[in-house]
Each structure stands twice: as structure tokens, then as C-alpha cells.
Amino acid sequence: MTRLSTYLAKVFAADAIALFAVAAFLLFLIQCLRTFSVVSVKGQDLLTLLGQALLVMPTLGVVFLYVCVGIGLARGLRALQASQELHIIHCSRRTPALLTAIAAYAGGWALVALTLSHLVEPATNRQFNEWSASIAADLVGRTLTPNRFAEVVPGVTMVIGGRAANGELTDFFADDNRNRDMRRTYVAKSATVAADDEGYVLQLRDGAIQYMSDEHRFSEVAFARYDIALERLTGPAEARDAVGETNSLELVARALATGIWDGETARVLTGRMAEGARVLAMCLFVAAIAAFPHGRRVRHEVPIELVVLAVAFLERGVSANLMPPGPLDPVGGAYLLAAISLAILAVRLRGFAPAVPKTAPP
């Protein structure tokens, strides 16, 4: 890279980093407010609240990273246009240096997006779920008082008959009314909080699970022993996503070792690759519309930030709704945006190709 390319790449990166930092801080505060139940309901301290919110940030950061990258590049190019530097770059036939700076900028941020999606996000998801499991175990252990009904979390009520010396709970009862379609009730003569490879579980013995549908149909299943993950009683009743908690290197190594590429693994890997493709496609689009000077004096001009946001929404909408089902479904919108941007960029490069001065014959 030349000095001009390095200078331009730094200008673009400064705007993107500043915007990303502001957006990340605001989302962090919003996430703290959303998870405040960790303090108000589950009785944890402020450090736990901040840690839980921080672990969610890589997942949120991947979502809006390419928007910040696109706006940062657009602002940098707009500043060059306002200062006439963009005109000088094209007139002095330094367009390759400008395109090199944009390519380096896009490639660097694409690498950041891929690192977040392939490595950082799975690790933080796994840590978040493990931490949530420990919070659930602590919540159950502190909340349950013999012969007193306690709402552990909104919609889940528990009561026990007593505690044995070894920590065993007797006459266990739990009512889970969070799902409107299916109400569950757990009854057991004894229960024990234990840990296994998947996290903390509640081991119920000599009891039954009772189901009540929204049509008031009742069913009961008796058991001698039944293990239930504590997250199902103290958090969202959803199973942990083992593939989502595994980084891409481990997923690829596992698939190569077994020779089996299941649909879920392919879908997750394609979705993670789509984040890098979105960054590249957005940078191509911004370069196609803003990397060339103009002499128009428009009094009311559409802010380029709104254009980038609109394109980001359209790309997400195309990927989610218009692409046919298949392995390329998550990345289809980015590919379409990149193709359109390359076509526009090729046309504009031909129009802005500097003329070679003709030398007079000797």
C-alpha cells in the first residue's frame, strides 16, 4: 500500500471505530436494562449483571458491525468530497490508491466480522449458558423454603416439604405456567440439585409430570427418576444449541473426522460466513455510490447514512424472505448486493477513467 492508501484507510477506519464504539456502548446499556431481572428477580450482584450483558455483546456486535463499517466508509468518502480531495485523487490518476484503501479497509473489517462470528461468539454463548446454569442452581438453592410457595421466576412457582441433611429436597412441587399452549407441573417425593456434562440439573425421584394443554386436556407421566435442566425452570424453556456454542474450527474438524456434514452444521457455518460477506458487499456498495466526485450543488440531499441503513434492511429482508431455501439462503442477500455494486462500480470506473494526455508529434 502507498502512503495515500494508508492515509485513506486510516480515515475510513477512524469513522467506523467511533461509530461502532458508540453503538456498542448504547446496546450494552440496553442489554443491562433487559437483563436486570438477574438482580431484581434472581438476586445476583451488579458484577453478574455486567458480565452477563458483556457476554451477549459479540452476538449483537456481529449484527450491526457491517452497518457501522458501511457508514464509516460513506462518511470518509463524503468528507473527501467536501474537501475536494476526492476530485484531486481522480484528476491526478490516483484512483487505484483509493480503491486499494477501500479494499484493505473492507478486508480488515471482514476479518474482524469472521473472527467474531466463527470464534468469539460461540465461546461467549457457551460461557453465557454455563453462567446462567450456575445462577439457576444458586437461585433454586436460595429461594426454596420448606412449606412456602416461591415464584422463582415469573410464571414458575415451587415449593418443598423440607430439606434433608445431605441437601436433598423432599415433597418437591413445581408449576411452570410460562407456555400458554402447555402448562407443566412437576411432583416428586424427593429432588436433588446436581451437575453433569450439560450443566446443572434437578434430579427428581418417584414422581410425575402433569401436562395441561390450552384446550384443558390433562395428561400425566409417572417416573422413578427424571432429570430436568434448571434453565428450563429458571429461564427460557429452550434447549441449549450445542452447534451454536461450538466454534467453526471444531465443527469442521469434527465433520472431517466423521465424514458427516449434517444440515445444521452447514447452516451454521454458512450463516457465520455471511457476516464477512455482508461487510464486503456493503463496502462495495458504498464505494460504487460515493467513491467518485461530482459537482452537483443539491440543497436537500438524502443523508448517505440513511441510504446505508436502508440497504442493510433490504439485504436482510432479501436474505430472510426472498431467497429460496438452501445452503446459500443466509448469504444470498449479500451476494445479490455485491453483484449489483460490482456492476455499478464497473460502469462508473469506465466513466471516470482518466484520459491519457496526447503528446505532440516531434
Say how far apart CA 207 and CA 223 lie, in whole Å: 6
Q: At what angle do helices 95-115 and 46-82 cross, to 10 degrees?
A: 170
CB-CB neighbours of 67 under 10 Å: 22
Specify the pLDDT at position 287.
93
Mean pLDDT of 223-229: 88
**Worst-scoring range by mean pLDDT, 146-155, 271-280, 302-311?**
146-155
Domain borders along the chain are 3-134+245-351, 142-234
Q: Which residue has the higher pLDDT, 98 or 166?
A: 98
**H helix and E strand count, the chain:** 11, 7
Q: What is the pLDDT of residue 327?
A: 58
| Alpha-carbon 346 to chain mean position | 33
Percent of the residues in the chain that have a pLDDT greater than 90, as a whole number = 30
- For residue 225, give the nearest of 249, 201, 250, 254 by alpha carbon: 201
Q: CA 93 to CA 78: how far, in whole Å?
A: 19
Q: Is the pLDDT of residue 123 over 50?
A: yes
User: What does the alpha-carbon distance between residue 94 and residue 318 come to, in Å, rounded to a whole number?
Assistant: 36
The C-alpha atoms of residue 307 and residue 125 are separated, in whole angstroms, by: 32
Cα–Cα distance between 182 and 31 in angstroms, integer? Answer: 29
> Within a 13 Å sphere around the CA of 137, how many CA atoms are in the beta-carbon half?
17
* Residues 81 and 294 sit within 8 Å (Cβ to Cβ): yes
Percent with pLDDT over 70 in the chain: 86
The predicted pLDDT at position 107 comes to 94
Residue whose C-alpha is closest to residue 284's, from 20, 77, 14: 77
Element (H, E) at 357: none
Residue 343 has pLDDT above 80, yes or no: yes
**Where are the strands (E) in the chain, listed by range?**
150-153, 156-159, 162-163, 169-176, 182-196, 199-213, 218-229
SS3 253: helix
Task: Inform me whether the pLDDT recorded for 206 exceeds 90.
Answer: yes
Lowest mean pLDDT among 168-182, 221-235, 293-307: 293-307
CA nearest to 63, candidates 284, 269, 259, 275: 275
What is the DSSP-derived secondary structure letter of residue 146? B
Helix runs in 35-45, H state only: 37-40
Question: How many other β-carbons are positioned within 10 Å of the β-carbon of residue 310?
Answer: 11
Kindly tell me the burial class for residue 280, based on how many C-beta atoms sit within 10 Å of its own C-beta (0-12, 13-18, 19 or more): buried
pLDDT of res. 276: 92
